[in-house]
Amino acid sequence: MRTITIEKLFNDNKERLQLDWVAGQTGAHRLLESEEIKHPATSLIGHLNLIHTFHVQVLGAAEVSYLEGLSEERRELAMTRLFASKELATLVVAGNETLLLPLLSRYCNEHHVPLLASKRHSPHVVDTLRLYLLRELAEYITTHGVFLDVLELGVLITGASAIGKSELALELITRGNGLVADDIVELHRISPDTIEGRCPPLLRDFLEVRGIGVLNIKQIFGETAVRPHKILRLIVHLEDHNHETFANLDRLGSEASYQDIVGVPIRKMMIPVAAGRNLAVLVEAAVRNFVMNQRGIDSTKDFIERHRLILESGS
């Protein structure tokens, strides 16, 4: 289960949302957990809700106006109910709404709940933090391979150890493509049908090539040769040409195959590895063909249809 602290949430979004930490500094290590985003009935973030409390409660102009309109007794009752919730992890006051900051600061300090203030409007704060939390707490797995941006498409190259994945990646990089991760690839499910590939911080920008060693791709090829993350669209699996899997290889590739990644089916292509084959050209061709398939253009079907028409006309 993945977790992040309120302190990390604050630091990561401080500049983007123009955040200030107003009160409740003792609650900096309160946790937001990934288990919460798996249940549709609950949400980590939302505008002020005194009945079904969000973990991150955002108070904008409407919420502050509502609380200001309450009598002092009812306002204190609302605060007591809000801070009695075990789900509450932090409060964010948005849009320069400062009227209730003294009252909220008192309760946040007493209950060790961080109180943050943003100069951005509340809808922007909610949308930004919701996307941030989905990325940070997304369900993920790690896998062995090389993840690349090939012709603007996220491609995961897999295969047995020493089959040539890193060498292939290096050649693709020299052809203008970009490196996301080598060796260990983190695959995060950031939406029901979207997988995002990332690189662990320790390995970022590095590519290991046998016989040469570890290369810093960013330093050698420049900033445009690396990517921080990319949406996974295609898996290219390298197999030894002598492997028994290719004894009955479907040369037309008429049957599309998929691999399940954290519950999302990803298109998978298998490329035989043999001496003299230009794998970089083959991978780029596979990517171009995949893009054409997504546009409804299938070369294999076109070829079969042309063959059928010729046979029919000859009869």
Residue with tokens 């003294």: 102
Q: Is 251 a catalytic site residue? A: yes
Spot the catalytic one: 29, 38, 74, 144.
144
Spot the catalytic one: 183, 205, 240, 298.
183
The answer to whether the beta carbons of residues 165 and 154 sit under 8 Å apart is no
Q: Is 12 a catalytic site residue? A: no
Structure tokens at 261: 């990644």
Q: How many CB atoms are located within 10 Å of the residue 145 CB?
A: 24
Number of H helices, E strands in the chain: 9, 16
Cite the DSSP H helix spans in the chain.
6-17, 61-68, 72-84, 101-111, 122-136, 165-174, 217-221, 279-294, 299-314
Spot the catalytic one: 165, 227, 230, 237.
165
State the DSSP H helix or E strand holding residue 229, giving kind and residue range, or none if neither. Answer: strand 229-240
Q: Compute CA distances 233 → 127, 187, 270, whole Å.
A: 25, 12, 15
234: left (phi over 0), alpha (psi -120 to 50) or beta: beta
| Residues pairing with 118 in the sheet | 19, 94
- In 3D space, the residue among 104, 103, 226, 238 whose CA is nearest the CA of residue 168 turns out to be 238
- In 3D space, the residue among 263, 189, 192, 200 whose CA is nearest the CA of residue 232 turns out to be 189
Spot the catalytic one: 210, 251, 260, 295.
251
Structure tokens at 278: 């230009």
Q: Is 144 a catalytic site residue? A: yes
**Kind of pairing between the strands at 31-33 and 194-198:** unpaired
What backbone phi and psi angles, to 5 degrees, belong to 205?
Answer: 80, -5
Residues annotated as part of the active site? 144, 165, 183, 251
